[in-house]
Structure 1
């Protein structure tokens, strides 16, 4: 094609057709520019297609990670609600005036289920490795990018709230270490069963319940965490963008 253009230009010059030569030269330049623009556009399309493919892969990884985090959080909330129910079962028995066999059996049944210590430790490998790299800009949704950036701070805030419960757990556990067999074997003569009749027992049991309730109340850090989790899952669905 270039040889053909060169041959035509040479012929026009030899025939002294200057005006036609200029028109032809301008036309040739125009065609070259159009060709370059088309090539650039094709290159941009290819680059955009590659970026879209990479973005979908990133979204897939984010989605999988946060669905797992959601399952973990839901399990924790369920376990804490169960723990609160067991605390309430014992609270309904207070004050304990007589340590009868049925009373001791009920205490063993419910109290043994108040020692669960599930904490939220979400997987953040994908987010942490992504936010600090240029690949983060491949995510087109600004809303999703902002949610991912603020995610770690929300987790830290919620874990600080969890720590309140964890710190109090040590006081709760210490009471039972001093007074009751590890397996709640009330037949062991070393048990101090009268401890269940004290105000101290009533106090630590109610405090245990309340510190757990704080971590799952609607007005706690859990609400913001859950909203962010649901938003990220929704916006990272494959082919969402």
Structure 2
């Protein structure tokens, strides 16, 4: 009987050690996810401000944009598009091995299950966002003179760009109804990510980290 008790005690310590290792790995994984979602939220906020300027033709102070400012705002709206990249880590191993159900913290298990749903919802919304982004880019590639913009803006390797005799009026495109409709849809999906999907993802991550810390401190 004593030998059995000792064996059970050893097994219990071994299980506790394994769980601690998993928890520490999860903590590192979700700290990386938290840093990533903060980066994406900042990127999304910046891109949406630029989108709003293009749609309204005004800056944040309500001043009408110059032709060059309007074109620059449009470029900024696409320069750093938001996309969340999940940190590689131990969670998939926990799921595949069936160990997730063995974690002692019930709330942590619940939040990790919620994470799987939330991250898929974010990916689906991001897929829609990138589809709208591609439509805007296709329109601009077809109708817009990037050469003319770069020369007027004096950007990049300006001294190496040879002007051509294009008669394209870049600015008039921003008053084109087709582009306006595409930009509005692009902005609406981005706004949805900004206000709902990314904040929900961040909240989920923070709750997971809080439960991990609680488990490690017990």
Task: State if a TM-score over 0.5 links the two structures.
Answer: yes
Cα pair 1:80 1:212 within 8 Å, conserved = yes
Once the two structures are superposed, residues 124-146 of structure 1 have per-residue CA deviations (whole angstroms, 9 ceiling, x without a partner) of: 54111111225435521122122
Distance 1:137 1:178, change over 3 A: closer
**8 Å CA contact 2:133, 2:186 repeated in 1:** yes
Q: Which runs of 5+ in 2 are unaligned?
A: 59-64, 153-162
Q: Select the structure of larger CA radius of gyration.
A: 1
Q: Distance in 2 between matches of 1:182 and 1:62?
A: 46
Aligned residues: 196
Question: What is the Cα-based RMSD across aligned positions, in Å?
Answer: 2.4
Change (3 A) 1:78 1:39: same
Unaligned ranges ≥5, structure 1: 1-35, 95-101
- Cα distance, 1:149–1:92 mapped onto 2, change above 3 Å: closer
After TM superposition, list the pairs within 5 Å mapping 1:83-232 onto structure 2: 83-93=47-57, 103-115=66-78, 116-182=80-146, 184-185=149-150, 187=152, 188=163, 189-190=165-166, 191-193=168-170, 194-217=172-195, 220-232=196-208
- Taking structure 2 as the reference length, the TM-score comes to 0.78
Q: Which has the higher contact order (CA 8 A, sep 6+)?
A: 2
